[in-house]
Amino acid sequence: MKTFFEWTPPRRALLPVLERVKQAYLLWNILLSHTPKYSRQTLGLKIDSLLLETLEWAFRASYLPPSQKTSAVITAITKLDLAKFFLQVGWEGGMLDDKQYARVSEPLVEASKMLVGWKEYLEKKTPPR
């Protein structure tokens, strides 16, 4: 029998888009701790906040009723696009090197495609009023 400290809660399967954003966020979190303090406390925190908001809105969308899903997915897309934009600004400003930028951008681009596909599916499935 396992003791309390050996017990691990069962892992809940996330939507693939949430997995991609989570993967990018966890990588970003590591990279953020190695950036200069002035970048970390300005642009770094902005990117961090937008990635967390993207996760939040995509997660919310997965639980909302069909009539509200599209709006939440659009918000998640907007937050993710802003995060990618500010990430590019950080890369161009020397906050990240080419390899770091490529590693964190890859799952974000994938997540972006998934979110847009989700939005298109919802729009076809739920015609406008």
pTM: 0.85
Inform me whether the pLDDT recorded for 115 exceeds 90: yes
Say which amino acid occupies 63: Y
Let me know if residue 71 belongs to a domain: yes
Residue 16 has what pLDDT?
92
Scanning 93-127, the segments in alpha helix (DSSP H) are 98-125
Tell me if 2 is assigned to some domain. no
* Cβ contacts of 118 within 8 Å, gap of 6 or more: 17, 61, 73
Report the pLDDT averaged over residues 101-118: 96
* Domain boundaries, position 106: 15-125
| CATH code for the domain in which residue 39 is found | 1.20.1440.60
Model pLDDT for residues 48-73, shown as the tens digit of each residue: 999 999 999 999 999 999 889 999 99
Please, are residues 87 and 97 in contact by the beta-carbon 8 Å criterion? no
- Please return the burial class of 53, using the count of CB atoms within 10 Å of its CB with bins 0-12, 13-18 and 19+: middle
Q: How many domains does the chain have?
A: 1
